Amino acid sequence: MQALETRQEELRALVDRLDAFERNANEALVGLYARMKPDAAAAQLAELDEDIAAALVLQFKSKTSSAILSEMDAARAAALAKRISDLRKSSAGRKP
């Protein structure tokens, strides 16, 4: 039983480290795209999975988001805007 508890603690520590890595990587990625020229960021975000692109755009400042979205194909920008809206609605519904 003690060995299982020890292993469980080791696994929790590993999950915590992985979560921290993911947060740091996400922050770095957001910063990277936010510092790009809007046309370059738009071209790259247009090629990403819609959920990933929407999650990134959602984290930009509104001025940066609007500059990037304005450089995208209108259909892709609209799809991302809809996905962002859906993400905001779903996260608002989870708050107590």
Q: What is the pLDDT along the chain (96 residues), one digit of tens a residue?
A: 899 999 999 999 988 888 887 777 688 889 999 999 999 999 999 999 998 899 899 889 999 999 999 999 999 999 999 998 988 887 776 555
How many residues are listed for the chain in this entry? 96
Report which of 45, 25, 17 is spatially closest to residue 9, judged by C-alpha positions.
17
Position 77 scores a pLDDT of 95
For residue 29, count CB atoms less than 10 angstroms from its CB and return exposed for 0-12, middle for 13-18, buried for 19 or more: middle
Position 9 scores a pLDDT of 93
Q: How distant, in Å, are the alpha carbons of 84, 85, 89, 90, 91 from that of 95? A: 17, 16, 10, 9, 7
Q: Could you tell me the end-to-end alpha-carbon distance of the chain, in angstroms, rounded to an integer? A: 37
Please name each of the domains of the chain with its CATH number: 2-94 (1.10.220)
Residue ranges of alpha helices (H) inside 60-73 are 62-71
pTM of the shown model: 0.69
